[in-house]
Amino acid sequence: MGSVIYFAYGSNMDVKQLKERIGDSFEILGPAVLKDYALKFNKISVKRGGCANIEPAKGEEVWGILFKLNEEQIRKLDVFEGAPYHYRRVNVKVQTKKGENLEAVTYVACEEFKREGLRPSEDYLKHLLSAKEMLPESYVKKLTSHRK
């Protein structure tokens, strides 16, 4: 069974939540940045307010955590992400803190489930901030600025 490098930029940066969703036999590869994209909270969610999404944006960057998953785990994650209806899985190129460029998969919200003006719930934001020890301080500040 092959492995997949997954770039988590939303609530799946929370290792505890990810374990609950797909099991604990994955490897944490560490932080990475996706350049020329911006983090948005424009994915509609009844329970969580605006959920994380990424959109192309020249000069912006989105930080996240890389995980090495097996094919069964990525299929389980598809279910939690509502793929391919709510989010669709896409390939991106990210850069690690060591400067390595890697291919990874991540999720992007489908157009029909996006709406501007949404804000993340405090509970949802806590999942993102659970990874703050691995993220740049400036990016953590940016995340906390989304508090209601």
Query: In the chain, where are the structural domains located?
Result: 3-142
Q: What is the pLDDT of residue 2?
A: 85
For range 32-39, the mean pLDDT: 98
Three-class HEC string of 54-113: EEEEEEEEEEEEEEEEEHHHHHHHHHHCCCCCCEEEEEEEEEECCCCEEEEEEEEECHHH
3-state helix, strand, coil in the chain (%, to 5): 25, 45, 25
Q: pLDDT tens digit string along 8-17?
A: 999 999 999 9
Q: pLDDT tens digit string along 40-74?
A: 999 998 777 899 999 999 999 999 999 999 999 99
For range 89-94, the mean pLDDT: 98
pLDDT band at 31 (very low <50, low <70, confident <90, very high): very high
For range 102-121, the mean pLDDT: 96
Cα–Cα distances (Å) from 127 to 24, 72, 100, in that order, read 17, 23, 26
pLDDT at 147 over 90: no
Share of the chain above pLDDT 70, in %: 99
Under CATH, what is the fold of the domain 3-142? Hypothetical upf0131 protein ytfp (3.10.490)
- 104 and 94 Cβ atoms separated by less than 8 Å: yes
How confident is the prediction for the chain on average, in pLDDT?
A: 95
- The pTM of this model reads 0.95
